[in-house]
Amino acid sequence: MENAEFEAGDARAPEGWGASTSIADAGSFERLTEGGRSGAFMRVESFTSNTNAYVSRTTHVLPETRYRAGAWVRMRGGTMIIWMHAWVDGKRFDERTYLRSLGLNPLIPEFVRLEWTQSPDPDEWQWVEREFSTWPNQGNINMHLGGFFDRSSMDIDGAFLGLARTKLTIEATGGEIARVRVLNDADEELWNSGQLAGGTTVLRHGLPDLPTDARYRVVATQPDGTEVAAWYPEQQ
Ligand SMILES: [Ca+2]
């Protein structure tokens, strides 16, 4: 996804992205160059519940492949959508996810306390994402981010579209190794080499189809029981 951090563009839209509402002038788009999760970000408002307000961009995808789409959102009120759209062989491909805030609902705080709702903190960036698989013959997808038929106010930054699964190739070297384990960031064991033959100093192993949004900890045990661990990626 090019210009996914919105760092290039003019005052209304990131370069290469569309910015439009289904009802003319029923929303607004501002590209602010400071104060985002990374530098520039998009401020999206819709003024009625009868319109959408999307920034959107079409990008190339591979057919029959598992993808993850996401974005960071700072939500003051209304409904935010990530909508992945395409026409494939005359059929409508449609994958979507929502983030809602009840902060602008007139029943709040008169009848319902805001803290009783699951409304996101308007000052915090929230990660919103969806995994989906593309169809046979699908070559592109049109990512939409923004307000969805609700009076809405939000900031959006850091759009993402990438493969949802990866092959993790581990390599343990540097001394005698008795055992190697791979754990995810929930500390669940994904793989255990078992006791290795005496004198083993190199171990390579591929683990296919792992989620790309997790961190993995590789733990090598030396013959004396000492454990050496490393995270991949080191930071997230
Ligand atoms: Ca940015």
Against a cut of 0.75, is the pTM above it?
yes
* Mean pLDDT over each residue of the chain, to the nearest integer: 94
What confidence score (pLDDT) does residue 1 get?
Answer: 87
Residue type, 48: T
- From the CA of 38, how far away is ligand 1's center (Å)? 4
Fold category of 165-232 in CATH: Immunoglobulin-like (2.60.40)
Residue 103 reports pLDDT greater than 80: no
Distance 37 CA to ligand 1 centre (A): 6
Same fold, 18-163 and 165-232: no
Would you list the domain boundaries of the chain?
Answer: 18-163, 165-232
Query: Distance, CA 105 to ligand 1 centroid (Å)?
Result: 29
Note the CATH number of domain 18-163: 2.60.120.260
pLDDT tens, position by position, 143-177 = 999 999 999 999 999 999 999 999 999 999 989 99
E strands of the chain, at which residues?
18-21, 27-32, 41-46, 52-60, 66-88, 91-101, 126-133, 140-148, 152-163, 165-172, 179-184, 189-192, 203-211, 216-221, 227-232
Which pLDDT value is given to residue 112? 85
Query: What percent of the chain shows pLDDT beyond 90?
Result: 87
Ligand 1 center to residue 31 CA distance, Å?
Answer: 10
The reported pLDDT for the residue numbered 230 is 93
* Residue 6 Cα to ligand 1 middle (Å): 5
If you measure from the C-alpha of residue 70 to the centroid of ligand 1, how many angstroms do you get, rounded to a whole number? 14
| Burial class of 188 by CB neighbour count within 10 A (0 to 12, 13 to 18, 19+) | exposed
Q: Which amino acid is at 215?
A: R
Find tokens 């999760």 and name the residue: 37
Closest by alpha carbon to 168, among 227, 217, 235?
217
Ligand 1 centre distance from Cα of residue 213 (Å): 20
